[in-house]
Amino acid sequence: MSKDPIIRVLVVDDEIDHADALSEVVARIGYAVKQAHNLVDAKRYFTETWWMPNAISPKVTMIWS
């Protein structure tokens, strides 16, 4: 029997407190989470071997005020 695929979430926010809060909630749900606080880090995490998926199916939500 194979395991369910791991859902990986990359939280990108330049407000560290916001990224921490969202990452904690997502991790408690059971997803693998990484944080980036700028575009350079986001690109680096996305291209890491651990992060690179076999297929990309992004689900993007942008919330700002």
Predicted local confidence at residue 49, as pLDDT: 61
- Residues contacting residue 9 through CB under 8 Å, at least 6 positions apart: 23, 26, 31, 32, 33, 34
The pLDDT of residue 61 is 62
For residue 25, the model assigns a pLDDT of 94
First-last CA distance in the chain = 45
Residue 8: is its pLDDT beyond 90?
A: no
State pLDDT tens for residues 10-56. 888 899 999 999 999 999 999 888 899 998 888 888 777 666 655 55
**Residue-level pLDDT at 1:** 46
- Global pTM reads 0.68
Q: What are phi and psi of 50, to 5 degrees?
A: -60, -35
